[in-house]
């Protein structure tokens, strides 16, 4: 059985915290608490990227979570087509590590175009299963 939920967030800094809370509540509700910390951190990084780099002026972002069998898929939709790139941050850099963290914590991730505009940055997390119904 597939469980799926999504929520739109406004283009405001506090939306990143709200997106983390949305993800945590959803995962606990689905009985998938064992990967909550990893997924929360990835939500935080991808939502921040969407807010800072991926949204056209005054456009927010959408967070979608889907659980099927023993995989949780996280998607963050935004309004720009510019694709994010991983980079090696220097020790003194205060940003630039988000996608490196996502790549380290997720079991897979990628980017796809979104119709009619924008992109979807997704990541997948293997779980031990849970009650998604």
Average pLDDT for 86-101: 59
Q: Please give the C-alpha separations between residue 46 and each of 57, 69, 77, 89, 91, in angstroms, as whole numbers.
A: 18, 24, 9, 17, 21
Kindly tell me the sign of the dihedral angle through the C-alpha atoms of 54, 46, 22, 16.
negative
Average pLDDT, the chain: 85
C-alpha 124/C-alpha 95 separation (Å) is 23
> Which residues contact residue 65 at a Cβ distance below 8 angstroms, ignoring those fewer than 6 apart?
4, 5, 6, 23, 26, 27, 39, 72, 73, 74, 75
**pLDDT 10s digits, 62-85:** 999 999 989 999 999 999 877 666
pTM over 0.75: yes
Three-state DSSP at 52 gives helix
Residue 94 in this model has a pLDDT that exceeds 80: no
Structure confidence by residue, pLDDT tens digits, 14-41: 999 999 999 999 999 999 888 999 999 9
- State what percent of residues in the chain have pLDDT above 90: 59
């Amino acid at each position: 059985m597939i469980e799926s939920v999504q929520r739109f967030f406004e283009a405001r800094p506090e939306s990143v915290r709200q997106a983390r809370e949305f993800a945590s509540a959803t995962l606990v509700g689905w009985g998938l608490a064992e990967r909550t910390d990893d997924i929360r951190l990835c939500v935080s990084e991808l939502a921040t990227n969407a807010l800072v780099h991926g949204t056209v002026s005054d456009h927010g972002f959408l967070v979608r979570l889907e659980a099927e069998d023993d995989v949780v898929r996280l998607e963050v939709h935004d309004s720009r087509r510019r694709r994010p790139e991983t980079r090696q941050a220097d020790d003194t850099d205060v940003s630039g590590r988000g996608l490196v963290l996502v790549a380290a914590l997720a079991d897979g991730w990628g980017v796809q175009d979104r119709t009619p505009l924008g992109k979807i940055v997704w990541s997948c997390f293997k779980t031990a299963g849970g009650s998604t119904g």
